[in-house]
Structure 1
Amino acid sequence: MASVTGLEGIVAAETELSMVDGEKGLLIYRGYEAKRLALELSYEEAAYLLWYGQLPTEEQLVDFCVKWSGLRALPAEVKAVIDLLPQEFEMMSVLRTAISAAEETNRGTWSPSLEGALRYTALVPSIIAYRYRRSAGLEPVEPNPQLGHVANYLFMLTGEVPLPAHVKALTAYFILAMEHGMNASTFAGRVVLSTQSDMASALCAAIGAMKGPLHGGAPSEVVHMLDAIATKERAEGWLRQRLDEGQRLMGFGHRVYKTFDPRAEALREMIIRLSADDAWFELAVYVESLATRLLDEYKPGRKLYTNVEFYAAAVLRAVNMPSALFTPTFTVSRMVGWTAHLLEQAGCNRIFRPQSIYIGAMPETAEV
């Protein structure tokens, strides 16, 4: 039996949720191109599509949003747990612990529900905002039921109603990041749920995988890169030195996409619409164009194009998101995709049990 390191190319499940076509640069959510959804829909509409399999009517959307906003308030016991955690805990560790504390204990037979998916998705921004403000010595801001999911997240972080342009840009990012096939965190969650464990445990596994810098940490590195470049005049020299040293350019290339990342294309279009005169974004666009040309020069045939993390960094910087919250914010967006996968797993469950190949020593008496 041949081994496949990292399970690359191995089919682990069938799904109706999304399709990632790396060769053609396609990301499909239930029959719709994700980049079009990101430019045209609210986050709630896209979430409804993934959870229910269809876009909502106007009446359904109103009822759905009311139900969603009613689930945002943090229970007192969850706040108490968060307050007990050491200040040095990273936000992802806080989030993992708080989700455990928020676990529904009065469940009967094993059956993860859409109501649970909505509840956990509604709670995650509140957990992050509560911890962030408490750690900064600020009074926590309670959820605003008049604001949508994305706008309310920014409101709870800052205490101010966000600019419409910022909400639109962050909404586009959230929709594009909400689901992406059988990635590491989604797989981790499905594996845990396949044992008939509860949704909270599966989400904690997904959060643990997202915490790893190879999965959820790239936007921060893009910001560091752009900050180091600082100006157009410094760009080529900085990039060439990095490439001469054999270093990676953050925000370029993707394990799946072998052409333009459709998520990056949509974010680029959204940012141009909203902030074409923004100096920092202008630098990002310039660096993207220059870096793509240099990568083709240094690594011909590799097809290393801009990925979603590059423009995600531009969006997160535009809304003044602290870099320490980049991965937690990615997690806010991905909750819908994770929970949709958990519900799908429950609907046709079989426990995951891959094989391994032993390559260690054998006792002398053993027959091979």
Structure 2
Amino acid sequence: MSGLDDVIAAETSLSEVDGLNGRLVICGYRLEDLAGRTDWENVLNLLGGRMLPESAALRERLGMARQRAFAETRWLDDGIAALSITEGLRALMARLPDGEDQETALLLAAAPSVFVPALIRCKRGMAALPPDPALTHAADMLAMLHGRAPRAEAVAALDTYLVTVSDHGLNASTFAARVVASTRAGYTSAVLAAIGALKGPLHGGAPGPVLDMLDAVGSPEKAGRWIGEALTRGERLMGFGHRIYRVRDPRADALKAALARLGAAGDVDRERLALAEAVEREALAQLKVKKPDRPLQTNVEFFTALLLEALGFPREAFTGVFAAGRVSGWLAHAHEQIEGGRLIRPQSRYVGPKAA
């Protein structure tokens, strides 16, 4: 079956994606009850279960793990700096020890938040900044990026994003992580496989082109004409439609609310926000008319792009920031697969030429 649509490949207690009703449930909690109301460490604790320390110790241990991860940035040489940020992240992650123990899981959970800011700064000709284990995970990631204490509104916005993308059913990267984990190769091998899948433009590489689209539109008054011409040419509008959700993506609403709070604090360019609102309004209206048989609503990528841009992440780093949030789900699924103890080995149907 092409794409394995509707094939049940695993049973999980981690997240449920209800595409028909636009619901995402993580460990029994609706996304709306988590995003904007708690931080990533709490969701990591929910997903991690027995794989990670008790919640009282998790924050301190995670801060210490960020310090251990930072030691690996000494290997960030010109060769790694010349790679894309996603490929550089994969290269640095590959240096981490493999295993199925708690310390390995903590190190893997912490590392992307350290490596992504380090790679961004390196590409700008700046030195990587060490983490501060006393800060929250999101606050430390922003501090390592900008070299200053972040505003509370920015920390809350990044936390909302990391929580929103923490887990999302059996997507391509999570499935890759589960397949590798089922071989007992170790958590690091599973996460590396997931990053490899996330690198693809059909998965984690999509938010950046949303900004390319906004740049091409240019101004709110040009949105209607630009979108109409793009649809006439048969082009895909980035940030609209989702393979699973038949209605609005609930993650889009969580990020739109976070962006609004960030804008109220003066941390979002008003002209950029007005342009995005015009593009969303025109896109939804024209998609409804020109593709009435397809449910093409705003998806998580549209507001991800705007939020991460407002927080100061360059668009080429968006996939890496995605990994910093989704690593919680990858690790949780890897652990769940290992506990099940079953090697993933599906069958295929041969459709080639018959032997003589």
Q: In 2, distance between residues paired with 1:247 and 1:185?
A: 26
1:81 is displaced (CA, Å) by 3.3
The SS at the match of 2:35 is helix
Tell me what 2:241 maps to: 253
- Distance in 2, matches of 1:145 and 1:198, equals 26
- Bigger drift between 274-283 and 165-174 goes to 274-283
Alignment identity in percent?
A: 39
Contact 2:19 2:247 in 1 (8 A): yes
| Alignment correspondent of 1:215 | 203
**2:344 aligns with one of 335, 346, 352:** 352
Find out whether 1:175 has 2:169 as its counterpart.
no
Separation (CA, whole Å) in 1 of partners of 2:72 and 2:351 = 45
On the 8 A contact 1:222/1:309 being kept in 2, the answer is yes
2:27 to 25, 30, 35: 30
Secondary structure of the residue aligned to 2:24 is strand
Counterpart-to-counterpart distance in 2, 1:61 and 1:264: 28
Q: What residue number does 2:73 align with?
A: 79
Kindly indicate whether the alpha-carbon contact (under 8 Å) linking 2:47 and 2:329 is maintained by their aligned counterparts in 1: yes
Q: What is the CA-CA distance between 1:74 and the residue it aligns to?
A: 4.2
**Correspondence for 1:161:** 149
Which residue does 1:148 correspond to in 2? 136
Deviation at 1:90, TM superposition (A): 1.6
Residues in 2 aligned to 1:87 and 1:72: alpha-carbon distance in whole angstroms: 20
- Aligned position for 1:299: 291
Name the residue aligned to 1:45.
Answer: 42
Amino acid at match of 1:309: E
Matched-pair contact (CA < 8 Å) for 1:22–1:258: yes
Amino acid at match of 2:58: F
Q: What is residue 7 of structure 2 aligned with on the other side?
A: 10
Change (3 A) 1:97 1:230: same
Out of 246, 251, 254, the residue aligned to residue 263 of structure 1 is 251
- SS of the counterpart of 2:17? strand
Contact 2:118–2:129 (Cα < 8 Å) also in 1 = yes
3-state SS of paired residue (1:214): coil
SS in 1 for 2:16: strand
Deviations 1:52-82 (A, max 9, x none): 28xx9xxx65532111101112468733433
Give the stretch that moved more between structures: 127-136 or 203-212.
127-136
Query: Take 2:104 and 2:72, find their aligned partners in 1: how far apart are those partners?
Result: 16
With normalisation by structure 1, the TM-score equals 0.90
Corresponding position: 1:332 with 2:324:
yes
Q: Note if contact 2:206-2:301 (Cα within 8 Å) is conserved in structure 1.
A: yes
Q: Contact 2:284/2:297 (CA < 8 Å) preserved in 1?
A: yes
Residues 74, 126 of structure 1: 8 Å contact kept: no
Partner of 2:172: 184
Map of 1:229 onto structure 2: 217
Where 1:192 maps in the other structure, the secondary structure is helix
Runs of at least 4 residues of structure 1 off by over 6 A? none
8 Å Cα contact 2:62/2:106 also seen in 1: yes
SS in 1 for 2:236: coil
Check conservation: 1:81, 1:101, Cα contact below 8 A. no
Deviation, 1:101, is 0.9
- What's the Cα RMSD here? 1.8
> Counterparts of 1:252 and 1:295 in 2: how far apart (Å)?
9
| Aligned pairs for 1:59-98 within 5 A | 61-74=55-68, 78-83=72-77, 85-98=79-92
Deviations 1:312-355 (A, max 9, x none): 01101111211110111111110101001011111112111111
Distance 1:126 1:203 in 2: 16
Q: Shift of residue 296 of structure 1?
A: 0.3
Change in 2 beyond 3 A, CA 1:254/1:147: same
Q: What are the ranges of 5 or more consecutive residues in structure 1 without an aligned counterpart?
A: none
SS at match of 2:65: coil
Q: Distance in 1 between matches of 2:122 and 2:10?
A: 41
**Is contact 1:25-1:260 (8 Å) kept?**
yes
Which residue identity does 1:340 align to in structure 2? Answer: A
Range with greater deviation from structure 2 (7-16 or 351-360): 351-360
SS of the residue corresponding to residue 73 of structure 1 reads helix
| Equivalent pairs, count | 350
Contact 1:267 1:312 in 2 (8 A): yes
Q: Output the amino acid matched with 1:173.
A: Y
Q: Which of the pair has more CA radius of gyration?
A: 1
Contact 1:72 1:143 in 2 (8 A): yes
